[in-house]
Amino acid sequence: MPEKLPPLERPEPEVFGSASKEKQEAAKISIMQRFGEKHLEQISKEAAAALATIDRPKQPFEQEAIKTANAITNNLLEKFGLPQFDVPERNLHVIPDKNYATILDAAGSSAITIQDRQTIILNAEKLTDPLVKASAIFHEIIHLKNFLRLEVTKDFHLIHRSGLRIEANEKKIKDIGDYSAFSGLNEAIVAEIEKRHFPELIASNPFLKSEWEAFNSKKSNRIKEKILREKSVTQDELLWINNSDGSYSTFSYYEQRKVLNYVVQEIYEDHKDRFDSKDAVMTEFFTAHFNGQISQIARLVGNVFGKEAFRILSMMDVPENSARLVMAYLKKHRQEKTAP
């Protein structure tokens, strides 16, 4: 059984590239040290000082959400035969919207994981409801615990793989420019894990008891029924409801998750001799997020949808229309393969 790593330690990332072994080792250590005292050394002194000034103290429900998110993800890591480790509270920062946009050049988003800094940053003004913020914390911790591979060359040092997401290597950047692959599928997997474990994340948080009771109250259930009648939203997609005005929030990356669930369902239909449930197929995708081994899911997708399907799936990005186009391709090729 894999053991849990000591506090402020994370597993070593994989490293490849033409750099010397010494330089590769230094790059690996620089990632691992970002859970310790050198957490902010990778950014300028000015930026670190600014972050220290605007970083808001964690509220008790946020601290508990971090603790529970670590526990849930560690259970998954243990299930997948991987070492367990905790994302430290210090690596998560809650900052005002105006600073969030300036520091990260990410105006409009609510949370982000920066893999090379091993840092999670939350937008305080975009995440005002405790249930939504707790779920966002969980989402980003799933990201930060994903598989990591670095490319290190004489003049080059980047995160080449994080989860299923792949960044262009040095040669391809020089030849055809920068790009990324599997961004949409990666987000779909993270959001699907988040959604499935959301009740566990919230129900066990004593500081969110009143919010959880309100979410499951008779009044809230009446609002849910109204939303289901008037909007194209299913009840299991809701993660927060305002009982005063009927506004609500849903889990992210809905269109990408539709693609993921369709792919999983069709793989299951063709491989019932290998898998005893759809969840068993989904576990293959979850495992790949944490261990980086994608050959198994690539073969399954190719078997069911055709040899080009996994490449097309890699092109699914985070905009909704990208997911819809990929879904159309997969359905068309699935019909062709199953046609008499």
Q: What's residue 104's pLDDT?
A: 67
149-to-40, 263, 293 alpha-carbon distances in Å: 21, 26, 12
pLDDT of residue 105: 62
pLDDT of residue 2: 75
pLDDT in the model for residue 44:
63
How far, in Å, CA of 33 to CA of 160, rounded? Answer: 19
227-279 pLDDT, tens digit each: 999 988 899 999 999 999 989 999 999 999 999 999 999 999 999 999 999 99
What pLDDT is stored for residue 189 in this prediction?
98
Q: Identify the pLDDT of residue 3.
A: 83
In the chain, which stretches have pLDDT less than 50?
Answer: none
Helices (H) then strands (E): counts for the chain: 14, 10
For the chain, first and last CA: distance in Å? 47
Distances (CA, A) of 134 to 27, 28, 69, 119, 175: 32, 30, 9, 16, 42
The answer to whether 318 and 183 have CB atoms below 8 angstroms apart is yes
Give dist(CA 99, CA 28) in Å, integer: 30
pLDDT in tens, 310-332: 999 999 999 999 999 999 999 99
* Residue-averaged pLDDT of the chain: 91
Q: Please tell me the predicted confidence (pLDDT) of residue 53.
A: 79
| Confidence at residue 223, expressed as pLDDT on a 0 to 100 scale | 93
The residues, any chain, with a CB within 8 Å of residue 84's CB and separated by 6 or more, are 2, 3, 4, 5, 74, 77, 78
